[in-house]
Amino acid sequence: MEARIALAATDIVGESIIWSPEEQALFWVDIGGRRIHRFAPASGEHHVWPTPDFPTSIGTRADGGFIVGFCREVCLWRPGEAFELLAIPEPDLPGNRLNEGRVAPDGSFWVSTMQNNLNTDGSPRDMDRKSGAVYRIDATGTVNQLTPNEYGITNTMGWTRNNRFLFADTPANEIYSFAYDPEAKMLSDRRTIVSGFDRGLPDGSCMDAEDTLWNCRVVGGAAVARFDAEGDLLGLVELPVTWPTSCTFGGPELTTLYVTSARFTMSEDHLARHPAEGSLIAIANAGLGVWEAKFQSA
């Protein structure tokens, strides 16, 4: 598979990329750049909206617009309008921030947290604990905690057809599979399905129509790894960026894999030698994706 640069976005931390079939466009956030992107591959049209805080995740809503995670808050938003507060998942943990977020198959929004690693100016802050957890937010803004606060840098959210939830802890270099009970809205039976994989560390992921996980390998991994639901490696796509962060299938037939990337903490010398860092990458005919779920607003 050949990976090409679709957009030289120069994101500090591009994340949470999704495909909108209605607009035939990609949306994603740049956490460090405090902005939300919209990019239409067919026309090349690109628009950016600034945000008042670090945006960490984004999903589409069934009634139009988006649901957006920030450092502390989850908001509803329509382009050109103000952000409307929906929920604050951890009001009692000010040292944490939100990270990964995705709309689940049932139309709820799941977000995960981590110790805050960002100063107010966007520079890195040291981490010294594992305090991240996973939360489910429904249409009314009700928050349910699904895991203990025991994860480092929380990443990856995917749901298999047999109700397994896939999730990763980046510094632990592990990907987990949980049993999810959609009626009780509970996670159980955590299994480690990938551990110690030697290409970078796990960041964001997406599922495909074969129920397999495409996982971005950040921190020098320079690749997207494809794992089956048991954690067996099915393939590896080499990339022209070293810190891929998030991926989704897009295009009219959902056959192009789009990958965001980061340039966070990279030196000027490294960026001069690797100018593609922070770009949006496209891999045509990578596989067949699945449609993203939409958040069911009240």
Select from 46, 59, 53, 79 the least CA-distant residue to 19.
Answer: 59
For 92-97, what is the mean pLDDT? 97
* 256-298: pLDDT as tens digits: 999 999 999 999 999 999 999 999 999 999 999 999 999 998 7
Question: Do the domain assignments include residue 56?
Answer: yes
Grade residue 50 by pLDDT with cuts at 50, 70 and 90: very high
Question: Do the domain assignments include residue 297?
Answer: no
* 218-257: pLDDT as tens digits: 999 999 999 999 999 999 999 999 999 999 999 999 999 9
> Is the Cβ–Cβ distance between 249 and 206 less than 8 Å?
yes
Sequential DSSP letters for the chain:
--EEEEE----SBEEEEEEETTTTEEEEEETTTTEEEEEETTTTEEEEEE-SS---EEEEBTTSSEEEE-SS-EEEE-TTS--EEEE-S-TT-TTEEEEEEEE-TTS-EEEEEEE--B-TTS-B-------B-EEEE-TT--EEE-S-S-BSSEEEEEE-TTSEEEEEETTTTEEEEEEEETTTTEEEEEEEEEE--SSSEEEEEEEBTTS-EEEEEETTT-EEEEE-TT--EEEEEE-SSS-EEEEEEETTTT-EEEEEEB-TT--HHHHHH-TTTT-EEEETT---B-PPP-B---
Question: Do the domain assignments include residue 162?
Answer: yes
> Is the Cβ–Cβ distance between 199 and 227 less than 8 Å?
no
Residue linked to tokens 């990763």? 168
Select from 84, 141, 77 the least CA-distant residue to 111.
Answer: 141
For 97-103, what is the mean pLDDT? 98
Strand partners, 217: 202, 223
- pLDDT, position 213: 98
In terms of residue numbers, what domain contains 167? 3-283
Select from 240, 98, 197 the least CA-distant residue to 157.
Answer: 98
| CA atoms of 102 and 122, how far apart (whole Å) | 23
What CATH number should be reported for the domain holding residue 242? 2.120.10.30
The yes-or-no verdict on residue 42 having pLDDT over 90 is: yes
Question: Do the domain assignments include residue 296?
Answer: no
- Residue 166 phi, psi (nearest 5): -105, 135
- pLDDT, position 52: 97
For 9-36, what is the mean pLDDT? 98
For 192-213, what is the mean pLDDT? 98
pTM over 0.95: yes
Tokens describing residue 138: 């429904």
- Split into its structural domains, the chain has a count of 1
* 147-165: pLDDT as tens digits: 999 999 999 999 999 999 9
- pLDDT, position 1: 81
Question: Do the domain assignments include residue 160?
Answer: yes
**The CA-based dihedral angle spanning residues 226, 2, 45, 81, taken in that order and rounded to the nearest 10 degrees:** 10
For 116-128, what is the mean pLDDT? 94
Instruction: Kindly report the average pLDDT of the chain as a whole number.
Output: 97
Higher pLDDT, 297 or 12: 12
Tokens describing residue 103: 């709309």
- pLDDT, position 297: 81
Select from 132, 152, 147, 211 the least CA-distant residue to 178.
Answer: 147
| CA atoms of 257 and 289, how far apart (whole Å) | 8
Question: Do the domain assignments include residue 288?
Answer: no
Question: Do the domain assignments include residue 195?
Answer: yes
* Percent of the chain scoring above 90 in pLDDT: 98
- pLDDT, position 184: 86
